Chains A and B, each alone.
Chain A
Amino acid sequence: DAKTTQPNSMESNEEEPVHLPCNHSTISGTDYIHWYRQLPSQGPEYVIHGLTSNVNNRMASLAIAEDRKSSTLILHRATLRDAAVYYCILSSQAAGNKLTFGGGTRVLVKP
């Protein structure tokens, strides 16, 4: 499985944007880039995914580098409820959409 590299932790102030980087230099052509987050004492929750183009949804935006070797999850206005561990994961339908979780980035939001 192709691996991803994320910073262990990041801090942000409430109502400010948060940019979470992810490196995936060994990504293959069929790998989708997924982001999940895990709030305290809950199961992981889908955030967003993309293949080549940038993606936006109600939760976040995903910016994908042109060579696809890195991506950035953008939370436009962090709230206290966004404090969680954010996981960047590569997955493909050919591999059964399996998710291989790494350590993720723990995001702390300060009021």
Chain B
Amino acid sequence: DARVTQTPRHKVTEMGQEVTMRCQPILGHNTVFWYRQTMMQGLELLAYFRNRAPLDDSGMPKDRFSAEMPDATLATLKIQPSEPRDSAVYFCASGFSQDNEQFFGPGTRLTVL
């Protein structure tokens, strides 16, 4: 049963520390999306990739967030330095560019103290 996996599932860190979240998309999928969910803002799209190339990262705070796909099996989202307002659940999703369905991972719950 193919699934999107995300690590870590939970992360507690202190303000100012670097945070790296990882996502393994479903094998063969060529689009990857990063979303963030908070109580106040709901689910927001941060960035997305097609064939490992970043297509849109307009939803991401550029000064501290960065998203990359080092290879087709790994997507990373980094925050440096982290701030308390970054506390949220971060979801990764993958899919086929010619298809409409996105498959979501279980999320990484980040708490920045």
Stretch of B62-70, B77-85, B104-112 with 4 or more beta carbons under 8 angstroms from chain A: B104-112
Check B100 against A91 for contact (C-beta < 8 Å): yes
**Chain B residues whose CB sits within 8 angstroms of the CB of A98 once the complex forms:** 33, 45, 48, 56
A111 at the interface (CB under 8 A from B): no
How many interface residues does chain A have, given as a range? 20 to 34
**Chain B residues whose CB sits within 8 angstroms of the CB of A80 once the complex forms:** none
Contact partner, B50, options A45, A96, A101, Cβ 8 Å? A96
B102 at the interface (CB under 8 A from A): yes
- 18 example contacts (A-B, Cβ-Cβ < 8 A) are as follows A36-B102, A42-B107, A43-B91, A43-B93, A43-B104, A43-B105, A44-B91, A44-B93, A45-B104, A49-B101, A96-B31, A96-B48, A96-B56, A97-B97, A98-B48, A98-B56, A99-B45, A104-B42
Beyond the given A43-B91, A99-B45, could you list 20 further A-B residue pairs with CB under 8 A, ordered by the A residue number?
A: A32-B100, A34-B100, A42-B107, A43-B4, A43-B105, A44-B43, A45-B104, A46-B103, A49-B100, A49-B101, A87-B43, A91-B100, A93-B97, A93-B98, A93-B100, A96-B50, A96-B56, A97-B95, A98-B33, A101-B44
